[in-house]
Amino acid sequence: MRKTTTISVTLLILVILSISFYLLVISKQSDQYIPSIQLSGNEAPQFILTDQFGNEFDFSSTKGKVTLIYFGYTNCPDICPVVMSKYAYLKNELGDKSEKVEMIIITTDPNTDTPKVLNEYIKKYDERIIGVTGEYEEVEEVWKKFKIPVRSSKHDGMNMAHFSLIIVTDKNHSMKFALTPEMSKEEYLESVKSLL
């Protein structure tokens, strides 16, 4: 009788452990970030431009970090400030992990967005954000590499339309997914954490 009771208790414990393990696995899976806009996974194009401090910025220097790439400009009245605010939110919310994430804005108005102008603009949000610019032809080449449509003029930076998605790469620069300006800041945070 005692042997039967021991076997029954052991089986009950095994069943409870199995159910607990199953529930743990299911909950972990449901916590995984599922992107709305998945990208090809191809490696992001490499480029060299000038950062907001007037120094050469080599995109390859961000390898080993999750990287967010946005194409915008400092005179943008609506979408760009939303994205920059979310960049700043991410930098603050990630805490120590923010060192493992780079957030870049590549100008779509290089004639206006000199390093000095970019620097002043980025200071309004978070100085750890990287802003890059260059001669018009240099920046235009980067737009083409990323296949980013930009309606711009070499002379008039006020009349412009630009790509509004944020490209997110993993630590190997593989383009994993895109974020939209309309997505919540919580989704931005969840998406970045999923690649850390």
Q: Block means of pLDDT (10 residues each) for the chain, length 196 residues?
A: 53 48 44 82 96 98 97 93 97 94 96 97 97 96 91 56 87 96 94 94
Q: Is the pTM of this model over 0.85?
A: no
Q: How many domains does the chain have?
A: 2
Within this chain, do residues 17 and 42 fall inside the same structural domain, yes or no? no
Within this chain, do residues 73 and 169 fall inside the same structural domain, yes or no? yes
Within this chain, do residues 148 and 64 fall inside the same structural domain, yes or no? yes
Within this chain, do residues 139 and 76 fall inside the same structural domain, yes or no? yes
pLDDT tens, residue by residue, 105-157: 999 999 999 999 999 999 999 999 999 999 999 999 999 999 988 876 554 55
- The values of phi and psi at residue 93, to 5°, are -70, -30
Question: Using CA atoms, how far apart are residues 39 and 176, in angstroms rounded to an integer?
Answer: 5
Within this chain, do residues 66 and 155 fall inside the same structural domain, yes or no? yes
Within this chain, do residues 77 and 147 fall inside the same structural domain, yes or no? yes
Within this chain, do residues 52 and 23 fall inside the same structural domain, yes or no? no
Within this chain, do residues 183 and 146 fall inside the same structural domain, yes or no? yes
Helices (H) and strands (E) in the chain, counts: 5, 10
Domain residue limits at 84: 37-193
Within this chain, do residues 67 and 125 fall inside the same structural domain, yes or no? yes
